[in-house]
Amino acid sequence: MTIRIVIGLDGTETGERALNFAKDLASKISECELIAVYVIEWSPFTFQTAEENAQRHKRREEEIALATTRIVEPAVASLQVDGFTSTGLVRHGDVAETLNNITGELGGSQLIVGRASSDGFAKRIFGSSTQNLVMHADVPVTVVG
């Protein structure tokens, strides 16, 4: 049976550490697939005109292409060079909710993410994506510092 591990990437050094931790863990599992995921924070609750919505859709597609090229493809290539079976995804949405949903959709058994690196007023009020994920995920979450 193949074990699937989802790695939440954020384009930072903590995301790189999460990727390296996932490699180390996967090296200890005989059949393992690593899924590198980048979620672009996106709220569906913006009210706009039809023209603004068309521009927003175009912007979404551009963001997906950019994140795929700059973050996900290099991560997947790194995993494959090291001999791991891997794929990558980019999606829009709430980071914690989307990572949890992707893990469920793909039959993942664990999530690996980097520790939130930014502080500030919004984090103190709303919490970080990592905190929300740890509190609400349907599978074990490993947070790498």
Kindly report the average pLDDT of the chain as a whole number: 87
Return the sign of the alpha-carbon dihedral for residues 86, 12, 90, 142.
Answer: positive
Return the sign of the alpha-carbon dihedral for residues 83, 89, 90, 96.
Answer: negative
Q: Does the structure show a pLDDT above 50 at 121?
A: no
> What local confidence, expressed as pLDDT, does residue 126 receive?
41
Q: Does the structure show a pLDDT above 80 at 113?
A: yes
CATH 3.40.50.620 fits 3-144, yes or no: yes
> What local confidence, expressed as pLDDT, does residue 125 receive?
39
Q: Does the structure show a pLDDT above 90 at 141?
A: yes
CB contact set of 62 (below 8 Å; sequence gap of 6+): none
Q: Does the structure show a pLDDT above 50 at 61?
A: yes
Locate the domains of the chain by residue range: 3-144
Q: What are phi and psi of 6, to 5 degrees?
A: -95, 130
3-state secondary structure of 100: helix
Q: Does the structure show a pLDDT above 90 at 29?
A: yes
Distance between CA atoms of 94 and 39, rounded to whole angstroms?
8
> What local confidence, expressed as pLDDT, does residue 47 receive?
61
Distance between CA atoms of 111 and 50, rounded to whole angstroms?
37
